[in-house]
Structure 1
Amino acid sequence: MDRMLDISGDLPKRLRQCADFVAANPDRIAVSTVAEMAEGAGVKPSAFMRFCQVLGFSGYSQMQRLFRENYSQNWPDYSTRLEKLRESGAGSPSALLAEFIEAGRHSLENLVKTIDPRTLDAAIKMLAEAQMVHIVGMRRAFSVAAYLAYAFEKMDVPTMLHDSVGKLDSRHAIRRGDAVIAITFAPYTHETVELADVARRAGAGVVAITDSLASPLRPVTPLLLTISEADFGDFRSLSATLSLAMALVVSVGTIRRA
């Protein structure tokens, strides 16, 4: 994946389509044929085979084996996670609390290593200068998005939360000079990525909060704030993400009131 990210900007159009599709759908490789992957990327199978070779693989099968190893380690569903906790005997509330506190501590320690200070400064500058800050985050990321909307309001920062309640489409409210905070973690939410791309095409700035440099938000914005959250029993903490959200809000609020 690192090799793909390093060369994606220099690839011809068709091969770049392959790279973008793989970055957005890494799990598809493990269970799809080369024809299916090519169709998803909007290219011919021969172009997808060339893409595999550019990455250094002998062909699609070799590339697929690598992704299948990662696929086997994917997050299980919630019923499986609970069953694993029961089997481990970690079920007492106090024991669970201690474990989640420890996972949160690890997440916070990792945050210092994964956030680039220059990217953080650039993101805060963009948000502070924006006419309106739009926020989008679905599923697991929704609690972070809701907190950001609440906290920015308290800082008197014009803010709009895009939550798709009632399937209302508010993308047309995004204007040039605005900024969007897009929050999504694997498996990435299509609606969040789509809104971020709409914002980019509308001339708005985009700040991404995500968990990997291979996130589908990478082609949308260079302002990628990556977070590695620790987990216990396959339940991931949000400690680091919320700490980053607080830092964004306070920093932006301080600049705007200066």
Structure 2
Amino acid sequence: MSPSTDKKAPTNVTQVLERLDALSGTLPKRLDQCAVFTRQHLHLIAVSTVSDMAREAGVAPSVYMRFCQALGFSGYSEMQGLFRAQHTAFRPAYDERLATLRPDLSDGAGRLLADFAEAGHKSLMSLANTVTSEGLEAVARALAEAPLVHLIGMRRAFAVVSNMSYMLGKLEVPMVLHSDPGRLGSPAAVGRGHAVFAATFAPFSQETLDFARAAKERGALVYGLTDEESCPLSEFADGLLVAREGEVAGFRSLIASLALTTALAVAVGALRDDD
């Protein structure tokens, strides 16, 4: 018989966390197994099917559905809808992420490396579902034809555009890497006909968005890299590449983003060399 609850379904992620913590240790073995896995991998809910979640938790899909009902949801779809609505805005604090990792850390750093390697592999495989050859070719050609390429990315995205800057520099592609320290990055340096490549990941950098929008208003072509199709760049960018990164307890690497932008930089260099 399916577990029942007279509780209303949670209406936000915080309430889900509170419900999970309250139920911890009180559920039947298989449902508690689902609870432990879900508490450690909340960010998979928005992008995974019930079969995916069940498989990773080590239970049957029907068991995971009963777990969702134990939380107060009518089923997995209702729970997933809540997480999708808040996916781009919700990121756990770093101390919370570490807390979810502590049980795994008892197996040593090697287990952590294996988990990140597996997440990275899945990220690379997912590129085929989010980036087409034609889309990548169009962005590469536009950057190759621009007299000057401007690169912008804040916080964790800065590692992506700075690596891209290194690659383009070695390939002798005219470019400018805009950086946040000292507010040196300025859209006033962007001219008509220039190309801007902006990288920003959920929950999205307002500084990057403002820079890209201002550059667009100045007559530049704007292309972007993000992890969500709903990124505000999609409202005005001339092209958008999407690279979703796998997660380990909320920690994301940059494996897919670095592979994608490295390929893009090499393609830009090759196209300019052909011309």
TM-score, normalization by structure 2: 0.67
1:237 positional shift:
2.0
Letter in 2 for 1:209: L
1:170 positional shift:
2.2
* Residue of structure 1 in register with 2:120 after alignment: 104
* Residue of structure 1 in register with 2:72 after alignment: none
1:137 to 132, 149, 153: 153
Report 1:59-208 matches (<5 A): 68-70=82-84, 74-89=90-105, 92-208=108-224
Letter in 2 for 1:208: G
* Residue of structure 2 in register with 1:54 after alignment: none
The separation in 1 between residues aligned to 2:143 and 2:230, in whole angstroms, is: 23
Contact kept? 1:90, 1:96, Cα under 8 Å: no
The separation in 1 between residues aligned to 2:203 and 2:260, in whole angstroms, is: 21
Contact kept? 1:134, 1:161, Cα under 8 Å: yes
Say which is worse superposed, 88-97 or 210-219, in terms of deviation: 88-97
CA 127–236 in structure 1, closer or farther in 2 if over 3 Å, else same = same
DSSP-derived class of the 1:187 partner: coil
The separation in 1 between residues aligned to 2:12 and 2:185, in whole angstroms, is: 34
Contact kept? 1:151, 1:249, Cα under 8 Å: yes
Larger Rg: 2
The gaps in structure 2 that reach 5 residues or longer are 1-10, 14-78
1:234 positional shift:
1.2
CA 155–168 in structure 1, closer or farther in 2 if over 3 Å, else same = same
Contact kept? 2:104, 2:111, Cα under 8 Å: no
Q: How many residues align?
A: 197
DSSP-derived class of the 1:182 partner: strand
Q: Which consecutive segments of 4 or more residues in structure 1 shift more than 6 A?
A: none
Letter in 2 for 1:113: N
DSSP-derived class of the 1:136 partner: strand
Letter in 2 for 1:128: A
The gaps in structure 1 that reach 5 residues or longer are 1-28, 32-64
DSSP-derived class of the 1:139 partner: coil
Q: What percent identity do the matched residue pairs reach?
A: 40
1:117 positional shift:
2.2
CA 244–92 in structure 1, closer or farther in 2 if over 3 Å, else same = same
